[in-house]
Amino acid sequence: MFWNKKNKESDESITNGVRLVTYHEPKNVVSEQLRTVRTNIEFAGAALDQLQVVMFTSAEMSDGKSTVSSNVAVTWAQAGKKVLLVDADLRRPTVHLTFNQLNTAGLSTVLATSKKPEEAVKETMVENLSVMTSGPVPPNPAELLGSKHMKVFLAWARANYDIVILDAPPVLAVADVQVTLPEVDGVVLVVRMEKTLRGNIARTVEVLKMSETPILGVVERVKNSKGDRGYGYGYGYGYGYGN
């Protein structure tokens, strides 16, 4: 499925955070598209033993995975689920900016110190939605994300939340995603049409398949020809981008 609809978004999420259209404009057609994405993820996960920890990632930087993960987290919370959005992108974090939170403590703090997860979780203006920001940028993100402390943290998150969403780095940029994949129930790949290289999408899918982590689908951001900042969202199950 594909849509083209104007939506005010910016690629400057690294400095300004992402736009929560699902919160500010719940009746916007783009919000409905993102709710459909959430529903399709649930359908895709129905065949799994469980669908509780979901990772959103991309092949390249600036493909929109933070925008999609944050907005889908809002839609799950609006549907009555108790949701935790975790900024697992320890190199280029955005969640603290999106939700106007301090980033003095977060995931990196929990993984590297004795700080308890509940001490680093922050409530948001969205009912049922909590966030854990990235925390200070560490010198060893991959080592932290692949550590036993990450397993302990996710076990805690599973016990305390209905849905845990990981906003992860791009697959091809760093090794952070690969070391985290064994701990998640499924992965959603975000691509930007006419921007993300097909070869990179194919390589990303191969990396994800090697981990044997279920790929729940692909969210495609389709640019609106009428405006540089306009995007719509589509969801698909096919991976034949090389063709």
- The predicted pLDDT at position 193 comes to 79
Looking at the domain assignment, is residue 235 inside a domain? Answer: no
At residue 1, does pLDDT exceed 60? no
Residue 113: inside a domain, yes or no? yes
Q: For position 194, what pLDDT does the model report?
A: 74
What residues contact residue 107 under an 8 Å CB cut-off, 6+ apart?
Answer: 86, 87, 88, 90, 120, 132, 133, 134, 135, 153
Q: How confident is the model at residue 123 (pLDDT cuts 50, 70, 90)?
A: very high
Instruction: Return the pLDDT at 53.
Output: 98
As a whole number, mean pLDDT of residues 15-28 equals: 88
Judge whether 24 lies within some domain. Answer: no
- The parent domain of residue 209 ranges over 50-216
Please tell me the distance from the alpha carbon of residue 90 to that of residue 69, in angstroms, as a whole number: 15
Asked if pLDDT for residue 212 goes beyond 60, the answer is: yes
Rounded mean pLDDT of 74-87?
98
- Is residue 37 scored above 60 in pLDDT? yes
Q: Please report whether residue 210 resides in a domain.
A: yes
Structural domains counted in the chain: 1
> Comparing 60 with 87, which gets the higher pLDDT?
87
CATH number where 141 lies: 3.40.50.300
**Whole-number Å distance between alpha carbons of 83 and 131:** 8
Residue 36 lies in a domain: no
Residue 11 pLDDT level (bands cut at 50, 70, 90): very low
As a whole-number percent, the residues of the chain with pLDDT over 90 amount to 66
**Assessment of whether the complete model's pTM goes beyond 0.85:** yes
Could you read off the pLDDT of 125-163 as tens digits, one per residue?
999 999 999 999 999 999 999 999 999 999 999 999 999
218, pLDDT greater than 50: yes
> What is the structure's pLDDT at 226?
44
Ranges 22-26, 212-216, 238-242: which has the least confidence? 238-242
Whose CA is closest to 32, among 41, 43, 21, 42?
A: 21
Say if residues 86 and 80 touch (Cβ distance below 8 Å).
no
Is the torsion defined by CA of 89, 4, 23, 186 positive or negative? negative
Return d(Cα 59, Cα 69) in angstroms, integer: 15
Under the phi-then-psi rule, with left for phi > 0, alpha for psi from -120 to 50, and beta for the rest, what region is 233? beta
pLDDT at 62: 83
